[in-house]
Amino acid sequence: MKHPRLDPARFFGEVGGEPVALFRLRHASGMEVAVCNLGAKVLQILVPDRDGVRGDVALGYDSLAALQAGAPSMGAFIGRVAGRIAQARYTLDGTAYTLGANAGPHSIHGGPNGSRHRVFSAHQDTPDALTLRLRFEPSVDRHPGILDLTLSYRLTDGPTLVVEHEAVAVCPASPASPASFAPHIFFNLDGPGEHLVDEHRLQVFADRLLAADADNVATGERMLLDGHALDLRQPRRLGDLPDIDHAYELAGPPDGGLRHVAQTHSPASGRTLDVWTTEPVMQVYTAGALGTGATPDIGKHGVVHRPRAGLCLEPQQYPNAVNCPAFPLLRVAANQPYRARTEYRFGTRD
C-alpha cells in the first residue's frame, strides 16, 4: 500500500513558546523519514516491500494537533530516564530525589516533563540527517545534574535509520545524573491501518528477561528464558503470544559495541527489520494498551489506533536501576558522557 508523505504545513506551531516543525529526511535508496521536533518523534518511515512498492512502516500522526492529543510516546525519543522508576523516587549518594508521578505512584519515561513532552532545537544540514538538542535540568524533571543531549537521526544504505545520542554533564560540580534514553518508534511492517502485528515474526537475541512486579516495574531480578512464555530466542509469531511489555537483557559482550539484537519479519509485505545497538537492554512492547483510553486515538489518514497495531523495540539502559542495586546504573558526570547508537535496518525477503 502506498502512503502519502506527511505535510509539514500541518505541524507548524508553538508549544510552550518554542517553535515546532516537521522535518523530512531523504536518502538515495528511496527511504524517507519524517520527524517532529516535539519529542523528537519519528512519525513516518517509507521503505519498499518485496515488490518494490514503498509504504509507511511507522505509526504516527498527521498534524501537530493530532500529535498533542495522541499517545505521548508515539515515535518519541525518551529521556532523561526511560521506563518506570518505582514510587517516583530514589536515593543516590545519600540524597533523596522525589520525581513527578505519571504512572500511578510511579514515574515513567522521564516523568511529566520528560523529553517526549518537550520541544527540541533542530538543525538539518543535509537531506539525510537531522540533529536535535535538548537540555535536562533539575528544575524541570527533578533529577540531579544538568545534561545536554545531542540526538542524531541519519539515513544510510540498507536502507537504515541510525539513531545516535550523546549526553554530557554541563556543570562539573553537579551530582552525577542517572540517564537512560530510548527510541520509542511504533513499527508495523505492513503499514499503519487495518493490520495488527500479530502475523509478524520476532526474534530477540537475549540472555535473560528482567523481572517486573504487578505494576510492570523492574524488581532487579533476572529470569532465565528457558521454558518462559516470552522466550523469543527463536522467531515466534506475535499472535501466538500474550501482550509483551518486557525488558530483555541482550546477549553479547557488555563492552558497548554495536551488535545484532533483534529481527522481525512480516510474511504479508515481505519486509524485515533488524535492530543493532550498543545498549545492554531492550524493551519489547506489542502495544497492548494502545488506543484503550476514553477517547479514540486517531493516527495518520484517520486510522484509529488499536491494541497490537504496532511493535516497539526500545534499546536502553537497565530500567529502575536507581532502585535496583543488582543492575548496572549508568551515571553521567564530568568526563563521563553517555553515548549510544541504535540502527534500524530494513530489508525484504520472500
Report the chain's terminal Cα–Cα distance, integer Å.
Answer: 17
d(CA 255, CA 76): 27
> Cis before residue 159, ω within 30 degrees of 0?
yes
Per-residue pLDDT tens digits of the chain, which is 350 residues long: 567 899 999 999 999 999 999 999 999 999 999 999 999 999 999 999 999 999 999 999 999 999 999 999 999 999 999 999 999 999 999 999 999 999 999 999 999 999 999 999 999 999 999 999 999 999 999 999 999 999 999 999 999 999 999 999 998 888 999 999 999 999 999 999 879 999 999 999 998 999 999 999 999 999 999 999 999 999 999 999 999 999 999 998 767 799 999 999 999 999 999 999 999 999 999 999 999 999 999 999 899 999 999 999 999 999 999 999 999 999 999 999 999 999 999 999 98
Tell me which residues are annotated as active site: 184, 314
d(CA 274, CA 348): 11
Q: Give residue 54's pLDDT.
A: 95
Sheet containing 121-123: order of strands: 121-123, 129-136, 147-156, 160-169, 338-348, 271-277, 259-265, 201-204, 236-237
DSSP label at residue 339:
E
At residue 123, what are phi and psi to the nearest 5 degrees? -145, 130
Tell how many helices (H) and how many strands (E) occur in the chain.
Answer: 2, 28
Question: How many Cβ atoms from other residues are within 10 Å of residue 126's Cβ?
Answer: 10
State if pTM tops 0.85: yes
Contact between 273 and 282 under an 8 Å Cβ cutoff? The reply is: no
Q: Give residue 256's pLDDT.
A: 76
Query: 99 is written with which cell numbers?
Result: 520525581
Tens digits of residue pLDDT in 189-224: 999 987 999 999 999 999 899 999 999 999 999 999
Contact between 113 and 147 under an 8 Å Cβ cutoff? The reply is: no
Query: 317 is written with which cell numbers?
Result: 539502559
Q: Give residue 4's pLDDT.
A: 86
d(CA 271, CA 282): 21
Residue with cell 527463536: 234
Tens digits of residue pLDDT in 269-313: 999 999 999 999 999 999 999 999 999 999 998 999 999 999 999
Query: 226 is written with which cell numbers?
Result: 528457558
DSSP label at residue 210:
E
d(CA 43, CA 59): 6
Domain range summary for the chain, segments of one domain joined by +: 8-348
> Cis before residue 237, ω within 30 degrees of 0?
no
The CATH code belonging to domain 8-348 is: 2.70.98.10
β-strand 201-204 against 18-20: which pairing, if any? unpaired
Which residues on adjacent β-strands are paired with residue 169?
Answer: 147
Q: Which of 150, 149, 148, 139 is nearest to 171 (CA)?
A: 148
Mark out the alpha helices in 146-206 (DSSP H runs).
Answer: none
At residue 11, what are phi and psi to the nearest 5 degrees? -115, -5
Query: 300 is written with which cell numbers?
Result: 495518520
